[in-house]
Amino acid sequence: MQSQVNMNFENEYKKSFIYEFLKRMIDIIGAILGLIILSPLFLLTAIAIKLDSEGPVFFVQERCGKNGKVFKMYKFRSMYVDAEERLKELLDKNEMSGPVFKIKNDPRVTRVGRFIRKTSIDELPQLINVLRGDMSLVGPRPPIVREVKQYNAYQMQRLLVKPGLTCYWQVYGRNKINNFDDWVELDLKYIRERNLWIDLKLIFKTFFVLFGDEKAC
């Protein structure tokens, strides 16, 4: 699925080859180190998920990447296996305006799921996506395909770069923003301003916001 984007904005955000090369090197090194260091946590999480509820350890979902390219994103399963089917029952409780779904105390979340979402452990398998090149350590969060189909041309601009594990929204706006347009503004701010210092700062700050906040996507 290829997305239409604002070409004027695209010209504005383009970065140097050196930046893109170094960013990719940081992604590869960071993903490899993360997967090695966190492997015991992966094992413990997998065991907890299997003991808590029926279903697979991992949840695989199609998401939109750079320029709307669809890829399979990996997460630890934090919901019951019928979560997608039950979504229709909850749409009227959506707390976020715009083409994105978010509610507190989602009844589809398992007991273990509540903990791994709160601590962002559920997102760690996306290090595999970073290593494969589908994602970066830093970038806008990867949207669900059905949500992107509802984007307008302005919102499509958040697909101009690779999606990431963390971003401005993750650090500064999570659980404080209920308007999708405000979320998009944070993503476009990152796309315009991004550099290695901002990337490293966002990675560092992410560690201080992982605990105590509920996941949103």
Instruction: Please list the ranges in the chain whose pLDDT falls under 70.
Output: 1-14, 173-175, 209-217
Residues with Cβ < 8 Å from 28, sequence gap 6 or more? 130, 131
pLDDT in tens, 54-67: 999 999 999 999 99
Q: Tell me the pLDDT tens digit for each residue of 96-134.
A: 777 777 788 888 999 999 999 988 899 999 999 999 999
pLDDT of 62: 96
Residue type, 211: F
pLDDT at position 212 is: 47
Q: Which residues contact 203 (CB under 8 A, 6 or more apart)?
A: 30, 137, 138, 166
pLDDT attached to residue 1:
46
Q: Tell me the whole-structure pTM to 2 decimals.
A: 0.84
Torsion on CA atoms 187, 58, 30, 65, rounded to nearest 10: -30
Rounded Cα distance between 122 and 111, Å, is 13
pLDDT at 118: 86
Q: Kindly provide the residue ranges of all beta strands, DSSP E only, lying in 103-193, ordered along the sequence.
A: 136-138, 164-166
| Domain boundaries defined on the chain | 7-206
Q: How far apart are CA 156 and CA 188, in angstroms?
A: 10
The reported pLDDT for the residue numbered 175 is 62
